[in-house]
């Protein structure tokens, strides 16, 4: 009985350690990215981070926090623009 050798050339090698920890960030990395998303506003970043402590965080969870930060900043900008428009309107009325 003759056996033909198996052709393994079509199978890509996989690094078993490459997948370990994929998508996970240290608390320090996550906090840094959140602070950047908060445009350096430490108070906002701390408020959004809450009591998550110093455990690792998955990228998906961080994305949710960053989305919250962007929404808060957008809301602040919108409020500031409305306030600026009111001030301009009052100044125009004065003349």
Task: Work out how many domains the chain is built from and give that number.
Answer: 1
* pLDDT over 80 at 44, yes or no: yes
Report in angstroms the alpha-carbon separations of 9 from 3, 5, 6. 18, 12, 9
* Residue 38 CB partners (closer than 8 Å, separation 6+): 44, 45, 48, 69, 73
User: What tens digit of pLDDT does each residue of 45-60 get?
Assistant: 999 999 999 999 999 9
Whether residue 13 lies inside any domain: the answer is no
Whether residue 9 lies inside any domain: the answer is no
Whether residue 3 lies inside any domain: the answer is no
Q: What is the mean pLDDT of the chain?
A: 83
Whether residue 2 lies inside any domain: the answer is no
3-state secondary structure of 93: helix
Q: How many residues does the chain have?
A: 95
Report in angstroms the alpha-carbon separations of 37 from 21, 24, 77. 23, 18, 14
> Can you give the residue range of the structural domain that contains 53?
24-94
Look at the pTM and tell me if it is higher than 0.75.
no
């Amino acid at each position: 009985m003759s056996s033909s050798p198996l052709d393994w050339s079509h199978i890509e090698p996989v690094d078993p350690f490459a997948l370990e920890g994929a998508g996970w960030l240290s608390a320090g990395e996550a906090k840094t990215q959140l602070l950047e998303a908060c445009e350096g506003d430490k108070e906002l970043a701390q408020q959004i981070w809450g009591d998550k402590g110093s455990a690792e965080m998955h990228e998906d969870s961080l994305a949710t926090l960053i989305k919250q930060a962007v929404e808060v900043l957008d809301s602040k900008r919108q409020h500031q623009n409305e306030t600026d428009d009111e001030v301009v309107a009052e100044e125009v009325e004065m003349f």
